[in-house]
Structure 1
Amino acid sequence: MKIHLLTGLALCGAAMAPQPAMAQETDVASSGEVRARGTNRALDPDLVRCQRRPVPGSLRREVRICLTNRQWDQVFRAGNDDVQDLMRRSRLYAAPGT
C-alpha cells in the first residue's frame, strides 16, 4: 500500500508541474518597475519569477519556467489541494490494521 501511495504522490507531483510560459504577457511588471514603485519584490503579484526545474528522466537537463508570483501561488495551492485529496482518499481505502 505504501508503494502505491508513493507512486501516486510522485505522479501527482509530475502532473502538477507548471507548464513553461511560451511568451510573457505585456502587463506583467519587470523588476525595475517594481523597484521604482518601492514595493517588495516577494509580495508583488505581477512580478515574473523564473525557476529552473529538472526534467524527469534526465540527469542534467533543466527547464526554465517563468510565471508571475500570482501564478506561482495558484500552482502551489493546486498542488497542495491535490495531495491533500490524495491523502484523504488513501485513508478511506486503506487496509484494516495499517
Structure 2
Amino acid sequence: MLTMMMAFALVASGTPPTAAAAAAAERRPPLDRPASTMTGTEIKAYNVGLAPTHPDFIKCRKIEEIGSLVKKARVCRTNEQWKQAWAQGNQNARDTAEVMTRAPVNHSN
C-alpha cells in the first residue's frame, strides 16, 4: 500500500515511472539474525513497503518434519534466499543424476 502511494505521488509530481520502480527496487540492509527466528510481527514490520516479489521480502513456509505425522518446522527466508536454495537443490539433483548415470553397473548381485 505504501509503495503504491509513493508511486502515485511520484507520478502525480511529474517524475517518470522509472523513478517509482527504482524506489521500489531499493534493497534493505541484511538481517542481523535468521528470518526463521523472527516473530510474525517482526516479519510483517520488515516487509512493510515491499512488494511480495521483492528480493528482500520475507516469506515463511511450514515444512513437514520427517518422522512425525503432525510436527512442522517454520522456515522463513527472503525471496532471494528461497531462490538460492531452489537453485542449489536443483544443482544437487543434477549432480546426483549425472554421477548415477556415469557410475559402473555391477551385475554380479
| TM-score bracket for this pair, using the shorter chain length | 0.5 to 0.7
Task: Measure the CA separation in 1 of the matches of 2:38 and 2:57.
Answer: 15
The answer as to 2:56 corresponding to 1:46 is: yes
Output aligned runs, 1:1-98, within 5 Å: 21-23=36-38, 29-30=46-47, 32-34=48-50, 40-41=51-52, 43-95=53-105
- Residue 11 of structure 1 corresponds to none
- Partner Cα distance (2:73, 2:35) in 1: 8
Q: Which runs of 5+ in 2 are unaligned?
A: 1-33
Letter in 2 for 1:64: R
**Equivalent-residue separation in structure 2 for 1:47 and 1:20 (angstroms):** 11
The one-letter code matched in structure 2 to 1:21 is: S
**Ranges of 4+ aligned residues in structure 1 off by more than 3 Å:** 23-26
Change (3 A) 1:71 1:79: same
> Partner residue of 2:15?
none
Percent of aligned pairs sharing the same letter:
24
The structure with higher relative contact order (CA 8 Å, sep 6+) is: 1
TM-score (structure 1 length as normaliser): 0.61
TM-score after normalising by structure 2: 0.55
* CA RMSD, 1 decimal: 3.0
For residue 80 of structure 1, what is the amino acid of its counterpart? N
> Would you say how many aligned residue pairs link Structure 1 and Structure 2?
71
| Aligned-pair CA distance for 1:67 | 0.3
